[in-house]
Every structure is written in structure tokens, then in C-alpha cells.
Amino acid sequence: MAPERPAAIEVADSSLGVDNLPDRVAALAGGMIYSVACDQQAVRLPLLAGALAATIKLGTACVLLTPSDGGMFLRKARLAGFSLDGAVRSGALALFQTPPDVGKAIFRMGVDRFVRQLQFTIPSRGAFVAIDCADSLFMLSDPGASEEAAQQYLHWTNSHQHTLLATFAPAATAPRDYLTLRHIAENFAGFAVARPSDGGAVLELRHWFGAHGANPRESFMLRSRQSGVLSVRATATQDDELPPVDAAIYVKSAMDVTLAARASWHEAESVADAVDAARRSEAATLILPFERPTDYPMLCRAIVTVRAMRRPCLRVLVRERRVRLRAGQMLTLMRLGATAILPLDVSDAAVRRLVDSLRGARFTRPYEMDAQQVDEDTNGLLARQPDTAKGFCAAVEGLLAAADGFDIETSLVRIRFPDGQMAAGARSTQRFGRDLVAFLQDDTAWFFFFGCPAVSLPKVLQRFFRAPIESAERTTEQDAGRILELLGELRRAALKPA
């Protein structure tokens, strides 16, 4: 029996065009959609311009759809180090400006008709299509319509072997749009998030199937050269070596046993002393304790201070001592730039092994610097129990968007009581938890658990009601797509007249 031959994959001559980006990531496959979420135009535009310039050099016909004025886009591209004017004059690049109400127009005419009209103006096969601010074209504001639109674009790119690179800029005040994008992007060949960081940007691949195969989740530090062109920060070389001493700086109460006798371990009396020691270090791992609830604001300030030093070889570990961090607090610390959170039951030996494994490693994950805003995005939403369906949906969507990319277990539970029993009447006097958003309406109770293991939900839920809930109809969802669907049902039900 002859060995099975691998299936042939048609690959388009398309590239992301970022200098020093590995070919396994930069080379894009034909018939596929790649998406990048980035709300910063100063990062988004150079990415698109670089991809267009690199792909034009490969001889592939290119198309750009942008809400910006075409001439202004070309001028900004020149400032970013890319001259695309000649490609437009020669016909190698076709530039189209999308009107502000393009989303409504596509909704009325249908995506299939829109892509047919677009197809008339571009090569019949193998083109590279770049879309800036594709939120309206993919109708992210309507999850159902967005999923149908994504399927139409997928069919179109596959049947014509076009390569589609779409950038999205969901607003911070519209977490549902971002969650919709994450849901539809599961069927794309690639999804990445680009965020500004340390005078450049971080390109974080969530999943990426390039022309040469699948790529694991990873991050690339991007720097803008003097010409404006984005380039991946080169790995350490002999001219850019890591500092020879990579120390561990721990607050005394963060460890059970004093380790100051070890050459590379340095003890600090307080968190402030540890941060001061970090200022004098190019490479170090800080171990900070969380001993009491009042330590949380201090840890937020410490992490922001360390990240403001802009030294990627500084790592920050937060170790739980005596008490545990709440899920919202853990997420806030990670978004601010903590390397890891060490659970309460981790031993000193495990901490030492982790520190040893981190030596020489760079912190490349995107982080945020506004501690107050990041805390509001998580703990602020958890602290306010909504009294309307709209408020409940907004809180859940905000928390899901904030937790995207982090290993935080979330669950949406809907309980419907039988025989017209009111949810509010069945409720016990037990207060709702701090990592929980709840909403009671008529005979239905809605709960969104943030950081609570799914196996613990039945026992936790029963504490909130006097009557047994075994006879009630209960739906539990952990998939973000299904959670959005259930929230859509709640929204629609709330709009119906009483």
C-alpha cells in the first residue's frame, strides 16, 4: 500500500512584513483570514502598511479597505516608513475608502452581495486584501449577524484563494464587540492582539496558522526603527547579553526559610525595599507576599513601579501567604504585569525551582499601567450588583473581555424555578459572593461566577436559596460563545413589553 501523500495547500505570496518576524508567522496562507485586534492607530497602520509593502514586493496584487481618506492613509504610511504611492499608480495596490455607515449598508444588502461587488474590482484569484477597522464590515455589534458575516467572508476567501488580513479596533466601552470578535476568530487562521508597550508594541499571537503550519501562542516585542518601520526586537546576542547576575529579591515574609546565605538570593524587609532593590538590578525575580487584604493596593503600586522601569528581565512573583487573592484581584495583578501568582499551598522548594527556571527569561506579555482603571474593569464590576438585565449583561461582557487571554474559570448559570415561584422569594439571607454577579427577575435567577471551579457551583448555589434547587431548571455555560447567546436571550426578553 502506497504511503498517504500530504494534501497540497495552496499558499498565497503574502506576508505580514514585520522585520525579523519568523517566516513561520510572517508567511500567510491563501484562502485564509487573519485578524489583529488593536485600538491604537499608531500601531495598526504600520502593521497594515508593512504587510502591503512586503506583499507587493512578492508580486501579489493588493487591495486595501480603510475608513480613512486614501490620500491621508498614504501620507501616514510614508511617515511610518512605507511608500505605497507608486503601487497605487501602477495598479499593484487598489485603495477603497469605506463610508461611515458601511455596516448598515452591508446589513441591508447582505455580506454575499457586498463581497460579490468587491470581487468585481479585484483580481479573480490570489489577491491580498487588507481591511483597516473591519469592525463594521464584520458587524461586531450584532453577534448573530457577525457570525453569518464571518462565514460569508470565509467562503469568499477560500473559493477565490484570497488572503484577508483584517484589523479590528473594538472600543474599550464595547466589550461585547471584542467578545464577538474572539468568538468568530476561532474559525480564522490567525488571531492576534497588538498593544502599545515600552515605546513600541507587543504582538501577542493567540492562535496562528501560517503558510508553514501552526504556531504556538507567543508574543513578539515590536520596536519602531528610525525610519518608522516596525521590527521584532532581536534576541540577545553577544552585543546585547543578559546581565551576568540574575538575582532573586524576596520580601522576608514571602518565604518560610531565610535564603540570604545563597549567593543570588537577597532578602528585603518590605515590599518597598524590594522595589528599591529592583531599581538597582537589570535582571531579577521579585517575590512579593500577599498576607492580608490590605496588601492588595500596595502590590498593585509595586508592580506598576517595576514595569515603569522598562526592564524586561525583571520578573514579579506574588505569593499568597495566610490568605488567598480573589479572582478579580489576581486578574488585576496579572494585567498590570505580574509574572505569576503562586497559590497558598506552594512550598519554598517549589518557589526556588520556579525562580531557577525563570533565570534569563524576559517578560514579554502585554501589561497595563493604569492600576485604578484595570481594577475598575474587574473588581469594580464585581462589586456592583446590577438591578437590570442590561446592567447584568454589560457586567458579564466586561468581565469576560477583561479576562480574555488569562486562565480564569468563568461560568454563567441560569436557574428557572417551577410553578411560578419567584426567584427573589426563594432567595435566602446569604449574601452573594464577591467574585459573583447576580440578577434576579421573576422566576429566573442569573449568576456569573468569576474564578469559581465548575464542580463547586451546585454547593455554592444552594446557599443562596431557602428552597432546594434540584427541581429547578438549571443551565450552566462556560463557553464564551454560548454565554453571549444566553445574554442575547436575556436582552431580548427584557425588551418585550410586560
- Predicted local confidence at residue 2, as pLDDT: 44
Judged by average pLDDT, the poorest of 55-59, 170-174, 323-327, 370-374 is 170-174
Query: pLDDT tens across 393-433, in order?
Result: 999 999 999 998 888 899 999 988 877 677 776 666 556 67
Rg of the chain, C-alpha, whole Å: 26
392 and 457 both lie in a single domain: yes
172 lies in a domain? yes
Residue 42 predicted with pLDDT over 50 = yes
Residue pointed to by grid coordinates 476568530: 185
Q: What's the pLDDT band for 261 if we cut at 50, 70, 90? A: low
The CATH number linked to 338 is: 3.40.50.2300
Q: What's the pLDDT band for 285 if we cut at 50, 70, 90? A: very high
214 and 86 both lie in a single domain: yes
238 lies in a domain? no
308 lies in a domain? yes
227 and 78 both lie in a single domain: yes
Q: Which of 309, 344, 371 represents a domain boundary (last residue)? A: 371
Residue 198 predicted with pLDDT over 50 = yes
215 and 308 both lie in a single domain: no
361 and 444 both lie in a single domain: no
Helices (H), 322-431: 327-336, 348-358, 371-375, 381-383, 389-403, 423-426
Helices (H) and strands (E) in the chain, counts: 18, 21
Q: What's the pLDDT band for 260 if we cut at 50, 70, 90? A: low
Residue 236 predicted with pLDDT over 60 = no
pLDDT > 90 in the chain, percent: 51
Q: Roughly how many angstroms between the first and final C-alpha of the chain, as a whole number? A: 69
189 and 277 both lie in a single domain: no
Residue 245 predicted with pLDDT over 90 = no
Q: Which of 347, 371, 395 represents a domain boundary (last residue)? A: 371
- Predicted local confidence at residue 331, as pLDDT: 94
- Predicted local confidence at residue 230, as pLDDT: 76
367 and 391 both lie in a single domain: no
Tell which wins on pLDDT, 290 or 112.
Answer: 290
Question: What DSSP string describes 189-220?
Answer: SEEEEEEEETTEEEEEEEEEEETTEEE-SEEE
- Note whether 340 and 354 are within 8 A (CB): yes
Bridge partners, residue 475, by sequence: 414
- Predicted local confidence at residue 1, as pLDDT: 40
- Predicted local confidence at residue 417, as pLDDT: 82
Residue 3 predicted with pLDDT over 90 = no
The total number of structural domains in the chain stands at: 3
Given its phi and psi angles, is residue 181 left (phi above 0), alpha (psi -120 to 50 degrees) or beta?
alpha
- Predicted local confidence at residue 469, as pLDDT: 74
Q: What's the pLDDT band for 173 if we cut at 50, 70, 90? A: low
Tell me the helix, strand and coil percentages in the chain, rounded to 5: 40, 25, 40
40 and 158 both lie in a single domain: yes
325 and 460 both lie in a single domain: no
How far apart are the C-alpha atoms of 70 and 82, rounded to whole Å?
A: 14
Mean pLDDT over 49-70 rounds to 93
- Predicted local confidence at residue 347, as pLDDT: 93
54 and 180 both lie in a single domain: yes
Query: pLDDT tens across 327-386, in order?
Result: 999 999 999 999 999 999 999 999 999 999 998 888 888 888 899 999 998 898 888 888
Bridge partners, residue 343, by sequence: none
Over the chain, what is the mean pLDDT? Answer: 86
Judged by average pLDDT, the poorest of 5-14, 171-180, 379-388 is 5-14
242 lies in a domain? no
The CATH number linked to 185 is: 3.40.50.300
367 and 408 both lie in a single domain: no
Strands 444-450 and 473-477: unpaired
152 and 273 both lie in a single domain: no
Judged by average pLDDT, the poorest of 33-42, 166-175, 211-220, 305-314 is 166-175
Q: Which of 185, 207, 232 represents a domain boundary (last residue)? A: 232
Residue 121: domain span: 14-232
How far apart are the C-alpha atoms of 482 and 412, rounded to whole Å?
A: 9
pTM over 0.85: no
